[in-house]
Amino acid sequence: MDTRANEWAEEAHIPAATPTEEQVWASRAAIERATGVLMERYGLDAEQAKETLLQASRHAAVSMVQFAGDVLTSGRAGEPPEIRVVLDAASAPSGLRKAVAFIESEAARPIRLADIVAAAGVGARALQYDFVRHLHTTPTRYLRSVRLERAHRELQAADPQCETVASIAARWGFSSPGRFATQYRSVYGRSPRVTRSDALWSDRTTADPAENE
Task: Assess contact for 57 and 11: CB atoms under 8 A.
Answer: yes
Rounded to 10 degrees, the C-alpha dihedral 92/93/99/101 comes to 50
Distances (CA, A) of 125 to 77, 114, 162, 170, 185: 32, 11, 43, 29, 31
In whole angstroms, what is the distance from residue 156 CA to residue 90 CA?
30
Give exposure, 29-51, as e/b (b: 16+ Cβ within 10 Å). Answer: ebbeebbebbbeeeebeeebbbb
Distances (CA, A) of 12 to 33, 68, 71, 93, 164: 14, 9, 14, 30, 32
DSSP 150-212: HHHHHHHH--TTT--HHHHHHHTT---HHHHHHHHHHHHSS-HHHHHHTPPP---SS--GGGG
* Amino acid 90: pLDDT: 78
Task: Give φ, ψ of 108 to 5 degrees.
Answer: -80, -15
* Amino acid 179: pLDDT: 93
* Amino acid 60: pLDDT: 83
The identity of residue 185, as a single letter, is R
Task: List per-residue pLDDT tens for the chain, 213 residues long.
Answer: 455 554 455 444 444 445 566 666 778 888 999 999 999 988 889 998 999 998 888 888 788 888 899 999 888 788 899 898 888 777 778 999 899 899 989 999 999 999 999 999 999 999 999 999 888 889 999 999 899 989 988 888 888 778 899 999 999 999 999 999 999 998 888 889 888 876 333 334 334 444 444
10: three-class secondary structure by DSSP: helix
Instruction: Let me know if 21 is exposed, middle or buried by CB neighbors in 10 A (0-12, 13-18, 19+).
Output: exposed
Task: Assess contact for 14 and 65: CB atoms under 8 A.
Answer: yes
* Amino acid 204: pLDDT: 40
* Amino acid 160: pLDDT: 77
Measured on CA atoms in the order 134, 140, 143, 148, is the torsion positive or negative?
negative
In whole angstroms, what is the distance from residue 97 CA to residue 89 CA?
7
